[in-house]
Structure 1
Amino acid sequence: MIVEDMAERPALEATIDLAAIAHNVAVVAQRSGSAVMAVVKADGYGHGATPVARAALAAGATDLGVATVAEALAIRADGVTAPIVAWLHTPTTDFRPAVDAGVELAVSSTGQLDRVVAAATHEGRTAVVSVKIDTGLARNGVGPQEWPELRDALAKAVADESIVLRAAMCHLARGDEPEHPLNDVQAGRLDECVRELDHLGVAPQVVHISNSAAALARPDLSRDLVRAGIAVYGTSPLPDGYGLIPAMTLSAEVSMVKKVAAGQGVSYGHTWTAPHDTTLALLPAGYADGVPRLLSNRLRVQINGRSYPGVGRVCMDQMVVDLGTDSDVAEGDRAVLFGSGADGGTTAKEWAATIGTIDYEIVSGIRGRAQRRYVTSSVPGDTEVST
């Protein structure tokens, strides 16, 4: 069922299936045995942060996660009131609007905590705070040497009623290798930090460790929440798909069909030459829209249920498909560049594997002239998930 009435579809369209989002949240909840935080940073991994947030919450997710305060405030401005945490800050981040909006702020240093406390004092409110602990990723989060100072500062801020310590969290370095021993080491380090906070009388209300991979494959690492990012959008970072359903389908209108003779080179540099008389289709999608140039001569699309190869270089605004000699494709038909793969079509994961990247980069990189359309499909087996 289409939830938006669009009499005229755009030339390039990213269709987002909100039923797939709901299904995927249910898969993560069942696999992890935990409450689910839906991570909607980077505009919902390119799917639209607020629509995804609403669909995920309606499906049972309890919390939302973003990187920046600006992302959190944009979702708040759309009327979403659920708990939302932002965990990536810079020295110029203004915490006052976040405190005022009830955004949970994950701090990674005593300096950040001091600025949050100052913002809370300015706003006359108690700030909601998480502490992000670097247990082995060596990225964002407070490191072992700085931890005792921040731990004690958190206890003081709680005692002063400047903050409520809602959560303690860390991020796994090798979550997509479920049995790697570092996962257990990192979990143990976080648990020890939580015990230290508890000893000071300021135990966090919730603890979360797991990303999508750990949520799906390591339920023993689940604490009070799991942070599901790519899994919410329908892709497993592990070989097992776990019954997840990709939510985004990227399609383009066939803008031109033309015949070319054998020996004709196609697109810049003539990196592909027609081996025989053939018919080409032009699609209005290029690298400015998120179709990687590295996919030149290496992708396939589906039109009217048939698969066709992309030929020649992907350009900024357009790409070319070889229809062969017996195709019935006409101008105005719809080409599916990638989708759920349920009908044998291409997926974002296939694009990623072809060029040596990850599907996170593919779906979050869809941009430019691609317009989003939201639908709610009938998801096969949406009451059952893979075990």
Structure 2
Amino acid sequence: MPNTAPATSTTAELIVHDDAVRANTAWFADRTAGRLMAVLKADAFGHGSVAHSVLAAGATSIGVTSVAEALRVRADGVDVPVLSWLNPVDADFASALSADVDLAVSSIELLNAVSRAAAQTGRRARVHLHVDLGMSRDGAPQDTWSALCTAAALLERLGTVRVVGVMGHMSCADRPDDPQNVREGLLFANAVRTARRRGLSGFVTHLAATAATITGVGSGHGLHRIGAGLFGIDPSSTSDALMPTLSLTAPVVSSRTVLAGAGIGYGHDHVVDRTTNLALLPLGYADGLPRAASERAEVHVRGRRRPVVGRFSMDMVVVDTGDDRLHHGETVTVFGRGTAGEPTVADWARWAGTIEHEIVTGIGSRVARVHRSVPDSTDARNASSRKDHARA
């Protein structure tokens, strides 16, 4: 018979290990000699309010995408430079300038819109000119870069704009030996020279994000924009110095014993071949568990990994717990820091055929966020070991 007594809680929890966020930030602050912009886009990669943690650990500025994200950072009491770099031409630039938000500009149309907002508010806009180095997405194309710099220099003289930065982004920095890195580095150097020849000066340059900073291919500039690395993700897979920063747990809402031949979930993709116990967890693909990981994923309970069986549902998944009959309310770790043998975000990314970034940013709003600041003894020992290895 199924155990359907109500659980003590039906709420999954995403535990944000602020101590690990601070440790990762400090590692990058040391690696960049303090020239660290913490990129907190997408609600800090799904981690929520960590701005004060990263600033306390050595970040000196904040980067986000939209004006709305920048204003939320300001509302959190952050008073360091904040850069917003992905906005349509009709964005609320007046509010951004009133909140002292720097703005990235990749076209003359965008530059003019920012300049108009500056004239309306009486506040000179601080802009970072953004050049495309070969990704063919954001940034000014090479054939428009010179004109953009010329227009920006004119608006500087008119007093509505001040160019405080020139930025680019690398496409292959996770592969340090890729010749595209050399090409993009040369293109960026040329873009900087062009900006100076058009009369711009006194700006900071920034090219490297997480992968380019770890591998070193984006070195030699004034700022490093670190996002994923703050949260334990190394896109280049070349360093073991970073600490995972999230744990996802869920309570068992029911359990049952089934006989050999029982099918599980939609389509009966999984049929048990023996008498076994099943546990139901109250989270599914609506909460960010990737459906592509069906029949591959594992969770951790009672000191061991157990398979998630059957297709993932929108609100629930089923775990085969073998001879163990779990109790309602018993906590299952979906992913964690890996210190006790539990699956990690990297494991889930591999099972789903995706990247870690997608896993951490995909956890839905139904999952409660819980911030923790103090590491346990196992985490502290592992962090020390990682740092010693990185220094070696």
Higher mean Cα deviation, 375-384 or 342-351? Answer: 375-384
1:337 corresponds to which residue?
334
2:140 corresponds to which residue?
142
1:106 corresponds to which residue?
104
Compared CA separation, residues 347 and 99, structure 1 to 2 (3 A): same
Compared CA separation, residues 38 and 47, structure 1 to 2 (3 A): same
Question: Following TM superposition, by how much is the alpha carbon of 1:257 offset from its aligned partner in structure 2, in angstroms?
Answer: 1.4
Q: Deviations over 1:87-110 (max 9, x none)?
A: 111132121100111100000001
Partners of 1:272 and 1:253 in 2: CA distance? 23
Question: Following TM superposition, by how much is the alpha carbon of 1:9 offset from its aligned partner in structure 2, in angstroms?
Answer: 6.5
1:207·1:225 contact (CA, 8 Å) conserved in 2?
yes
2:256·2:325 contact (CA, 8 Å) conserved in 1?
no
Question: What is the alpha-carbon root mean square deviation over aligned residues?
Answer: 1.7
Question: Following TM superposition, by how much is the alpha carbon of 1:29 offset from its aligned partner in structure 2, in angstroms?
Answer: 2.6
The 5 A counterparts of 1:201-216 are 201-216=199-214
Partners of 2:161 and 2:338 in 1: CA distance? 47
Q: Deviations over 1:156-210 (max 9, x none)?
A: 1122221221111001011111121211221222222222322344224311101
Question: Following TM superposition, by how much is the alpha carbon of 1:32 offset from its aligned partner in structure 2, in angstroms?
Answer: 4.0
Partners of 1:183 and 1:120 in 2: CA distance? 36
1:45 match: secondary structure: helix
TM-score normalized by the length of structure 2: 0.92
For the pair 1:164 / 2:167, whether they are aligned, the reply is: no
Q: Deviations over 1:251-276 (max 9, x none)?
A: 10111111111111111111111111
Partners of 1:56 and 1:88 in 2: CA distance? 22
Question: Following TM superposition, by how much is the alpha carbon of 1:377 offset from its aligned partner in structure 2, in angstroms?
Answer: 2.4
For the pair 1:86 / 2:84, whether they are aligned, the reply is: yes
1:226 corresponds to which residue?
224
Identity of aligned residues (%): 37
Question: Following TM superposition, by how much is the alpha carbon of 1:297 offset from its aligned partner in structure 2, in angstroms?
Answer: 1.3
Higher mean Cα deviation, 180-189 or 253-262? Answer: 180-189
Compared CA separation, residues 18 and 10, structure 1 to 2 (3 A): farther
Residue from 352, 362, 366 that aligns with 1:369 = 366
The 5 A counterparts of 1:1-387 are 11-33=11-33, 35-48=35-48, 51-218=49-216, 221-325=219-323, 327=324, 329-378=326-375, 379-380=379-380, 384=387, 386-387=390-391
TM-score normalized by the length of structure 1: 0.93
Higher mean Cα deviation, 335-344 or 125-134? Answer: 335-344
Question: Following TM superposition, by how much is the alpha carbon of 1:20 offset from its aligned partner in structure 2, in angstroms?
Answer: 0.6
Partners of 1:190 and 1:245 in 2: CA distance? 31
1:32·1:222 contact (CA, 8 Å) conserved in 2?
no
- Specify every segment of 5 or more residues in structure 1 that has no aligned partner in the other structure, as ranges: 1-7
2:127·2:162 contact (CA, 8 Å) conserved in 1?
yes
1:232 match: secondary structure: helix
